[in-house]
Amino acid sequence: MSNIQAIRGMNDILPEDTRHWRHLEQTVSRLLASYGYGEIRLPVVEKTELFKRSIGEVTDIVEKEMYSFDDRNGENLTLRPEGTAGCVRAAIQHGLLGVPQRLWYMGPMFRYERPQKGRQRQFHQIGVEAFGIASVDMDAELILLTARLWRQLGLADSVELQINSIGSSAARRAYRAALVDYLTSHQDALDEDSQRRLHSNPLRILDSKSPQTQALLDAAPTMADYLDDESRTDFSRLCEFLQAAGLPYVINPRLVRGLDYYNKTVFEWVTDRLGSQNAVCAGGRYDNLVEQLGGKNTPGVGFAMGMERLVLLMLETGALDQSGQVLADVYAVAAGDRAQSTALAAVESLRDSLPDLAIVQHTGGGSFKSQLKKADKSGARVALIWGEDEVSTQTVTVKHLREGSGQGDRSGQQTVPGQQLEATLRAVFAD
């Protein structure tokens, strides 16, 4: 194929899908506004160093999934693989952290991975971050907010909330040692990937998909036993909050997150309807990240949701209207040169008086018949017709194209004086 194609894993989103995306975006932004979150818009490119310092040097994302390149001045930059790092950077840089901050953002992220269902190289996330509040009621707020979002999107029955606490970094270190200890003594029973992770990232063995590894883990030490007191009480407090709010959840003691900066609360909303990519929204607390990136010690909690996955899930579960989309309410047709200029002017003034109607003016010529054909295809309820007769009598024909749009008009069309066009259309679209 000699034609230039899009980069692998970077997809165009076509009009039939953008309407679904817009539905998601509008729902989310309204919801976040109602909770008092402010939108922040961040660059897509940051210094590579930012991601290395926040996500963690030895994570897969940093080791092999980043789109990095040298700028013309020799500086190494990276297309953001996630949003939190940039958000924290911006919050520090602009001095937003003196008071609690609730922020959200939306946009493309980039990871060099093999594309598959629900995963592409350029994907889109909506991220929400809350800074400056160390108590778990903040964690609860975020989780309740997401639950409300699923209800509004019609996804409440398709997702399940999993929560866990991974404790302080000291607790995690102690637990990691115990886990490595245990697994090392059973090394032969571990699958190949997990053996590798035993040295690189042992906590990730916990969510291995290998059945025998999972079986081995049944007898392994659990994170809960190693939690520091504060993490333990915070976690049970979180559970209380969720219970009080009537929000069902599952404690998944093997839930860990892939990014290094998390501590204490971690959570994930999962679904079984998207193939093997089961997480649609995930996040947790990151109380050390701000300081780690050079800011004043400031606690943080946040999450990100994958927009592709949410749209997919909504399509999958029938939560979206998939009927053919209608781009026009009214389609204007003109036969003859004189009629064309009359129609063009009339339609322009209609747009002044009826700004909420989508009026498509036929362009590109063609026979009268073919123009009407286009009118029908457009999905418009009515066609406006200007021909020789109409022009000479200063009228316009309003033709009803759909069942039930005729206001009891059996003939299917009526010719009205030009001045009455606006009123006629108002009546047609009154509902």
Closer to RNA at the Cβ: 41 or 199? 199
Stretch that binds RNA, among 38-46, 119-127, 168-176, 293-301 (CB under 7 A): 119-127
> Applying CB under 7 A, what is the total number of residues that bind RNA?
72
Taking CB under 7 A as the rule, does residue 411 contact RNA?
Answer: no
Please identify which residue in 163, 343, 346, 375 interacts with RNA, judged by CB under 7 A: 375
Closer to RNA at the Cβ: 11 or 27? 11
Give the nearest distance from C-beta 413 to RNA in angstroms: 6
Please identify which residue in 19, 151, 373, 426 interacts with RNA, judged by CB under 7 A: 373
Of 267, 339, 256, the C-alpha closest to 304 is 267
Closer to RNA at the Cβ: 226 or 267? 267
Stretch that binds RNA, among 56-64, 143-151, 157-165, 167-175 (CB under 7 A): 56-64
Taking CB under 7 A as the rule, does residue 278 contact RNA?
Answer: yes
Residues from 222 through 251 that contact RNA (CB under 7 A)? none
d(CA 400, CA 411): 9
Closer to RNA at the Cβ: 352 or 403? 403
Stretch that binds RNA, among 28-36, 88-96, 117-125, 135-143 (CB under 7 A): 117-125
Taking CB under 7 A as the rule, does residue 387 contact RNA?
Answer: yes
Stretch that binds RNA, among 42-50, 167-175, 221-229, 380-388 (CB under 7 A): 380-388
How many CA atoms lie within 13 Å of 57's alpha carbon, on the beta-carbon side?
A: 1
Taking CB under 7 A as the rule, does residue 214 contact RNA?
Answer: no
Q: Sheet harboring 76-79: ordered strands across?
A: 45-47, 76-79, 67-70
Q: Using the 8-state DSSP alphabet, how is residue 190 labeled?
A: S
Q: Quick count: other Cβ atoms within 10 Å of Cβ 369?
A: 9
Check if the beta carbon of residue 312 is closer than 8 Å to that of residue 306: no
Taking CB under 7 A as the rule, does residue 368 contact RNA?
Answer: yes
Q: What angle do CA 96, 101, 104 make, to 5 degrees?
A: 105
d(CA 395, CA 415): 6
Check if the beta carbon of residue 80 is closer than 8 Å to that of residue 123: no
Taking CB under 7 A as the rule, does residue 372 contact RNA?
Answer: yes
Q: Quick count: other Cβ atoms within 10 Å of Cβ 232?
A: 16
Closer to RNA at the Cβ: 228 or 264? 264
Taking CB under 7 A as the rule, does residue 44 contact RNA?
Answer: no
Please identify which residue in 282, 346, 347, 350 interacts with RNA, judged by CB under 7 A: 282
Please identify which residue in 89, 257, 264, 362 interacts with RNA, judged by CB under 7 A: 257
Taking CB under 7 A as the rule, does residue 407 contact RNA?
Answer: no
Please identify which residue in 25, 65, 160, 316 interacts with RNA, judged by CB under 7 A: 65
Residues from 184 through 213 that contact RNA (CB under 7 A)? 193, 197, 201, 204, 208-210
Taking CB under 7 A as the rule, does residue 417 contact RNA?
Answer: no
Q: Using the 8-state DSSP alphabet, how is residue 99 labeled?
A: S
Closer to RNA at the Cβ: 58 or 423? 58
Of 307, 304, 399, 215, the C-alpha closest to 22 is 307
Please identify which residue in 240, 348, 389, 409 interacts with RNA, judged by CB under 7 A: 389
Q: Quick count: other Cβ atoms within 10 Å of Cβ 427?
A: 11
Structure tokens at 369: 């018949």
Structure tokens at 150: 């699923």
Residues from 143 through 172 that contact RNA (CB under 7 A)? none
d(CA 242, CA 81): 31
List Cβ neighbours of 364 (8 Å cut-off, separation of 6 or more): none
Residues from 68 through 107 that contact RNA (CB under 7 A)? 82
Please identify which residue in 53, 119, 172, 362 interacts with RNA, judged by CB under 7 A: 119
Q: Quick count: other Cβ atoms within 10 Å of Cβ 207?
A: 16
Stretch that binds RNA, among 221-229, 235-243, 354-362, 367-375 (CB under 7 A): 367-375
Structure tokens at 208: 């291995």
Q: Sheet harboring 38-39: ordered strands across?
A: 38-39, 101-110, 122-131, 300-306, 279-285, 263-270, 160-165, 250-251
Closer to RNA at the Cβ: 225 or 388? 388
Of 149, 304, 145, 143, the C-alpha closest to 237 is 143
Taking CB under 7 A as the rule, does residue 123 contact RNA?
Answer: yes
Of 227, 186, 178, the C-alpha closest to 203 is 178
